[in-house]
Chain A
Amino acid sequence: MNVTVFGATGVVGQALVPLLAEHELTAVSRTARDEPGARYVVADAASGDGVAAALEGADVVYYLVHSLGARDFEEQDRTAADTVAREAANAGVQQIVYLGGLGADDPDASPHLRSRGETGERLGSAGVPVTTIRAAMIVGKGSAAFETILGLVKRLPVMVTPSWVSTPTQPIALEDAARYLAGVCGNDATYAEGYDAGGPEVMTYRQMIERIAALLGRKPVIVEVPVLTPYLSSLWLNLVTPVSASVARPLVEGLRNPTVAREERIRKLLPFELTPFDEAARRALA
């Protein structure tokens, strides 16, 4: 099959591309690349430049793009999704595979999570069936959410945290998320379907912090306070972690929403042993 991956050079894209080696692969990024394993093309989903050319002849399209960090990320995500949906329909694409977010269907979802949900809907708006894999935090090197937690653990012996540390989440290893994405490629039973892709363990962010700290041989003191706004939290994260405030704020706002799988159909469709959190975190830390 001819497969086009938008966001091929991102954290998830780089893990996915090798798993699609059996296909004719077009890897799309905003800057020029030349690496083995795929034909790299330059396109920008937000502006529309090069999108039609990147989709020419494609059977399956992976959409791993988001505008987190941009001031108007919601609008940019909408525009990019509309562009790819329209051009994919024009190109006769059979399937769009989208990495969405768990918790996006929460009625009180944060703008970031809401945007993830809306992007999935818009990708299907031109008639190409979308397969959505909904994941919580991706545990892997370079994942913005994971790096945020890691930055806190590495730099702070004492953490004053807002109540989001008690929110349950179900983080998934980068490699496992990529396997799920690759596994639905061209499978018409998954067309126009959404799947919750949780990791093997449900934990709170507090537990996640404690477990990452244990892997690093640290034991931070966590003091939970009832009131700390996402704005203040993002400024604080900007100060003490490598993640910029513009990325941290939408992430922090999303942490108040539980991100736990409500169903496990994907595990029956693509059965394999999921990577335990500690193992996934160890790999990300290596």
Chain B
Amino acid sequence: MTGWETSERVLESGGFESRQRVLVSEPAVEASEAGARSLGVTYWQAVDRFTRGCVRASWTGGRGKLKLLGGATLLTFGPPELSFDDALVSCRHAIQGGLLALGAGGAVTLAQRGEGHQQELSVTVEGYLPRLAARAGAPPWTGILYAKGQSPFHAAVSLRYFELLLRGGDS
């Protein structure tokens, strides 16, 4: 696993875009519905493992909730939107709300994309409206919980996800 990159920017819409990626020599998942789904399953597993079970995804009726200690709902998600072809395998969840979101909007996309002779594994959050980030025009310190807490936490979970994906793919 090489090429670890993490980046984040604020879009004109006010939404945040965050992206983490690594490069691997072989596909981690198959280009199929099962492969696309396993990207999502492994990501939520990574959240669980990284937080030692304190934050877990819970699914009811196709919708997901990311819960803290089984109680507070941090984020809510739509059902997985799976797509796959020879070039791209992805699993996308729309963000629908929760304590950490100002409102519905944006999505998290787990993807595997061919890049030359390698494969890029990525986690992309786009159009997300984080409640903990500084609002436009507000002093930067008002967003310190997001900048020093949620944002690096998310990047660390992504790294754990890539590791888990590759370890599972070793079999």
Contact = CB atoms under 8 A, between A and B. Distances in A.
A117 B167 CA distance: 15
B34 A196 contact: yes
A262 B33 contact: no
Contacts of A225: 70
Given A261-B38, A264-B33, 5 more contacts: A168-B44, A196-B34, A226-B69, A258-B42, A263-B32
A207 B53 contact: no
B170 A105 contact: yes
Interface in B56-113: 56-61, 69-71
Contacts of B32: 263-264
A114 B133 CA distance: 42
A96 to B, nearest CB: 18
Nearest to B61: A207
Interface string A215-231: 00000000011100000
Contacts, number: 70
A207 B70 CA distance: 17
Interface residues on A, range: 20 to 34
Of A225, A262, A265, the most chain B CB neighbours within 10 A belong to A262
B24 to A, nearest CB: 15
Nearest to B165: A262
B127 interface: no
B168 interface: yes
Given A166-B57, A207-B59, A262 B168 contact: yes
A107 B59 contact: no
Interface stretch (A9-17, A56-64, A179-187, A198-206): A198-206
B58 A224 contact: yes
A263 B70 contact: no
Contact of B30 (A105, A260, A264): A264
A107 B45 CA distance: 11
Contact of B59 (A194, A198, A204, A263): A204
B45 A166 contact: no
A279 interface: no
Contact of A163 (B34, B53, B61): B53
A264 B37 CA distance: 11
Contacts of B34: 196, 198, 260-264
Interface of A: 105-108, 117, 163, 166, 168, 194, 196, 198, 202, 204, 206-207, 224-226, 258, 260-265
A107 B168 CA distance: 7
B147 interface: no
B60 A207 contact: yes
Contact of A260 (B37, B53, B56, B171): B37
Given A107-B167, A258-B41, A264-B32, A166 B59 contact: yes
B90 to A, nearest CB: 15
B64 to A, nearest CB: 9
Contacts of A224: 58, 70
A206 B38 contact: no
B164 to A, nearest CB: 7
Contacts of A166: 56-59
Interface string B22-48: 000000011011110110011011000
Given A226-B69, A264-B34, A258 B59 contact: no
20 contacts: A106-B168, A107-B168, A117-B171, A163-B70, A166-B57, A168-B41, A196-B34, A202-B37, A206-B59, A207-B59, A226-B56, A258-B41, A258-B45, A260-B37, A260-B41, A261-B34, A262-B35, A262-B168, A263-B35, A264-B32
B131 interface: no
Contacts of B168: 105-107, 262
Contacts of A107: 164, 167-168
B59 A168 contact: yes
B154 interface: no
Contacts of A261: 34, 37-38
